[in-house]
Structure 1
Amino acid sequence: MSDHRTDAPEPGDERSGEPSKTQRKNEALELRELGRALAGLPEADRAALDLPEALRESIERYNAIRKHGAKKRELQYLGKQMRRIDPAPIRAAVEAREAGSQADAAALHRVERWRERLIEDDAAVTAFVEEHPDCDVQQLRSLVRAARREGGVEDPEQRHGKNYRTLFRFLRDQAG
């Protein structure tokens, strides 16, 4: 039996310098997902990027389509358009937007935790005032008392009423 192996690298072989078929597929999938994220950015954020006109049109078509199959095909085309440009600035814009959204969500969660602490514990008012010395203490105490009164209502629909939401807005404004 003869051995038919040669030392010539085949396409996709690490020695050839070309990416394998799997690597190319993974890169295409990443670019397609980046295209989806790009299409999800607000128009103002997309306008700030230097995108080719064909890519902008593809994004507009993708966002306008509602049918699943057509949307999937347009996403494929959007991914193809993404392969023709440098994805680094787009990736940076998408990551910056996501980081901002996560930071906003974390800030709202902190405010929600403060609201819960204030309603449950009188000592939390002192802790909040120490952390936010410019806040109107009298208004804070008044809002906390009103929110506590609402919390005692038996009807779950009324449990988190107007004063509960007003306290949240007050705390959000103080924390921001």
Structure 2
Amino acid sequence: MHWDEEIQDYVYAERPNKTLIKRELDHIQAVLKRMIALPQGYFDQVPMSDDLRENLVLARRIERAALQRHIRYMSGRTENEDLDLMILTMDRLAHPAVMATEKLHRAEEWRDKLIAGDNNLITELVGLLPGCDVQYLRQLIRNANAEAKKSKPPKSARLLYKYLHDLDEGE
């Protein structure tokens, strides 16, 4: 507390919310515990600093109470780490089936929008998916629309879906 001449009053220092700090530390510790439990093949793919990687390798060899102390120690040293990226990477590694399903749904959504006539999506896909052949894409869209009008089986719509899915897989 000190006297501020401008406002003619005492100014009190604001301290951070202790509960919020504890929640953040608990979250960081939970992420670190997840990382310690990862299989070695997945562990190597998670982006992190060399210092944190060495500490996590050490933590795998430590037992109970010492492990808890070491996790608390590591949680204080994660200021420069991108925890959100680590969590995202761990989720992708832990749930490959979910990621594959998301890709399938994304390809279906793109196909449906393209057949419905969303031309802006074509330019977006060209930038998003390397190797996208615009001419072939437009041909598949035209053929799919023609088949839909003539009530024929959706051969071109299936080809369009397969083409988009293969491009997304190659990404």
TM-score (norm 1): 0.44
TM-score (norm 2): 0.45
